[in-house]
Structure 1
Amino acid sequence: MTRLFDFVFSFLGLTVGFPILVVLYIVGLFDTGSPLFMQERVGRNSRPFTLVKFRTMRKDTASVASHLASASSITKFGHFLRRTKLDELPQLWNVLKGEMSLVGPRPCLFNQEELIEERLARGVLEARPGITGLAQVNEIDMSTPRLLAETDQKMLASFDIASYFKYILMTVTGSGSGDRVR
């Protein structure tokens, strides 16, 4: 049932939000010269997929988890995108394609081996990754792999339609601040 909601909401979000996406893309062109950021991530059943976001860091920033990147790498426009969570909007394309869900464990990088091991042990990687979830609304990020995997497992064990909408509402109303940056 959540896949149907994912499809409908991502389609509506991309359609209705298209003018906003265009404006953010154009501003991003002036900010970094390359407004979209694409990165291979660990998907459902450990399959790779290409995550799409608006770029918030300088183009020459190393491709590492956010908590390992330097805060000085974030552009002024990038700070705005992160604070408003607008950098996540292009992921609606990943949701529409079925690579992600609106709600699920945040997809990690393949070099985050400790997190992958923790998630494998807990069955978390069997779920479709999401834009938001229990960990995100509680400001738990990838800097604490064990806690993150435990939180993801807890969310999945009690996941239902009500919690799907609850995590979306909490995210839209400002719960969680996103991944920490040094």
Structure 2
Amino acid sequence: MKYATIKPTDVANGPGVRVSLFVSGCTHFCEGCFNSEAWDFDYGQEFTEETMETILGYLDHNYIAGFSLLGGEPMHPSNQKALVPLVEKIKERFPEKTIWCYTGYDFEKDIVGDMAERLPETKRLISYFDVMVDGKFQLEKKDLKLRFKGSSNQRIIKVPESLAKKQIVLWE
């Protein structure tokens, strides 16, 4: 897997100050995407053990509230395998920090439906997520007043609660 960038301090992609990883590769091609250069799976740098340790180091501060995964598309099947060890280590070392994942896929249909049935990594990944922002960015529904999402069709989902109840539980 490759990644586009790591933000050691990010206040736009979840509550509080967060560390954010922008992975490379996306097949949604949303019109108006703020990070279209990361659509290319070969864009950026190789994600390595050293990259993982850098992220864990950035997280090791009291003022960091959590970690956010964005893209590109973190839930693309070709990116999931590399992300499982990262989120496992984050939750192991920093259980109090939240993990947010942004995806263009639909939570019920794609993530807990099709992908979870086909890919063992999907179930493992989402078991570590506290929140998932789902749905493709839609330019015609863009709203700069929205908190932690780009367009009004996207949902901010509490993952553990939604999995337990087998229905969507929204964050706010």
Name the TM-score, length of structure 1 as normaliser.
0.28
1 or 2 for the larger relative contact order (CA 8 Å, sep ≥6)?
1
Q: Which structure has the highest strand share of the two?
A: 2
Name the TM-score, length of structure 2 as normaliser.
0.29
- Greater Rg by CA: 1
